[in-house]
Structure 1
Amino acid sequence: MFIFKVFWVIYLLTLQVFLANSYRAKSLVPALYVFGDSSVDAGNNNNLNTIAKVNTFPYGIDFNNCSTGRFSNGKTFADIIALKLGLPMPPAYLGVSTTERYQIVSGINYASGSCGILNTTRNGECLSLDKQIEYFTSTVTNDLPRNFRRKAKLSHYLSKSIFLLSIGSNDYILNYFKQEMETNQKGNPEEFADYLLEQLGSKITKIYDLGGRKFVIGSIGPIGCAPSFINRTSSSKDCNEDMNQKVKPFSNKLPWKLQELQTQLSGSIFTISDNLKMFKKIKNSPEQFGFTNIWDSCVGQDAKPCENRKQYLFYDFGHSTEATNEICANNCFSGRDACFPLNIEQLVRAH
């Protein structure tokens, strides 16, 4: 009986390695690693002490009617990019047991809702970007070497993988704007953007030092256009441009910061997911994208989701519907508007 059990364990491990290698052979890149906030959280916050968790109805209604912890009715931007790369959707790091993490070689999701670039940005417990990178460090030093016996092979695998970061909005919503309200003093948006970008650059450098070379970095979208912040009157709805103008310096300076990093970090290559540009494009002609409502939350005050979810830009107070995520991901992957200077297909072929 003991010999049979040993044989069965060896068989399963061999099968897992075979399937993993087979999957990698069919994919465009070896793996997708995801860092960020609620825009791409795949369920890490389910395991944390926070009110920022969505593992209950009405979230996930279009994800096999399963509330996985994604802040949407269905798949996130990162999920869709993974599938288009021929990879499985990266699982939430905290949702995988410590004894199973080494088996995952197609990418992991470390993103955490309500966190930001800065360690001081949070609403309850969450994984700061530093903490996410700490977990990725464990992946690279403890888990992946069990699949890549030679350092050269591991380095090649990491250099061909894609690293997606979607983070920064909370540094304004839960930090910058919150401080303004508490102190009743207007901070300098240019200086705050410079500080954020400096911090982001240092954290990207840590991922680079661990082996990352190909990066997709999300700009911060028009926060003032989210349902919870728009200006509403009895006859009109429009973005809160005061908020948008204060966030704009970050997105304006992001390309220059990434160009600087690309010069400093040999072999690195960056593309930007331009959330502001895509929103403007949708706002100018929503019907072209199938939207009938770009201002309101699909989920009502009674927590009941709208029936025509594909016609809504926003699912809740600030998170996009799967329909929006699909439009942005498809365009970023092979189009010319959402991502620049390269789309993801071009990023895959680079170097």
Structure 2
Amino acid sequence: MNTIYRQSSNNRDASLICKSVKEYKSWKWTWEPRPNSETDLIAVEKGGEVQVKGPIKPGRLSSTTYNKHVFNFHISPVNYDYSGKYRCITNAGIYTTTMLHTIRVSVEPPDGVLRNQSVILTCEVSEVTGSVTLVWLRMEGNRGVLEKQQIMTEKNNKLQLAVNLSSNETDPLHWQCAVFTEETLRALAPIISLSSSETSTVTNQEFNKYAKATVSSVLVLCAGILIGTLLYYRYRKRMSVLSVHSDPQESEPVYINISQLRKDRVERSSTLGNREQNPEMYRHVRRNKNEKTNINKRDKTPAPSDSVTYATIYFNKSMQVPDLKI
């Protein structure tokens, strides 16, 4: 079984080659990320086309047609969760097995290098077969200075190594995580300070995310201000039109009511004045035996201006007439 190490990055790839001098009628690549979880990735039979079946999309260097001697599977880019066993299987059985271990490096906080702050660099390996040594190297030109190392085994809960960098150490130094097995260098995973002329993949991705978020926020704010201004302008315009072109029929009844009210007041005043000038006409009041009062209608006979008509009052004999004082 072959074992390879690859950094999980957008610009990292892995080529799995299955080559034989013997002819085979069918080929396929399978992937087993965990025990008893094998799944087909690509497959081909003689005279047919390559069938893509698995969750990992084949890279541009993968086989696209049938070849009786070669069948390749290309992984690009390499994700951290792509680790596991890859098998090349022919119609005769398993031809080869490749074990892929992935490496991940990270910076916390992600924008700490950009802001010249203290940061924590972490190197992590997906899994360990036997023992692996993780090393942080501080690169000065072509020479690497060992800063920290740790041996990882299958018993370790966390397969990672972290190093703290103060603000004055991040510029202009380059940092790389090295993976050793049995004192043999298997892989290098670099992190390069953004303050230097070169840029690292990890910090570049974080910077792009921060820039996109900032631009999106600014665009949303500008759109909100523009919409608010437009709505306010339309509201002012509508109010100005209503004040200039108001309907005269709506205000006319108010004018008529006021005029009518004034007219009623004048007529009411005239009536009261006439009553004071004209002689008072008293009514005839008669009380019957049942002590009910009958009020006769007003006498329509005109009277002289200086005359006064007194009312005639009839009482039953049984009633007492009170003394009248004049």
TM-score, normalising length: structure 2: 0.24
- What TM-score do you get using the length of structure 1 for normalisation? 0.23
Decide which structure has greater strand share.
Answer: 2
**Structure with the larger helix share:** 1
Q: Which one has more relative contact order, counting CA pairs under 8 Å at least 6 apart?
A: 1
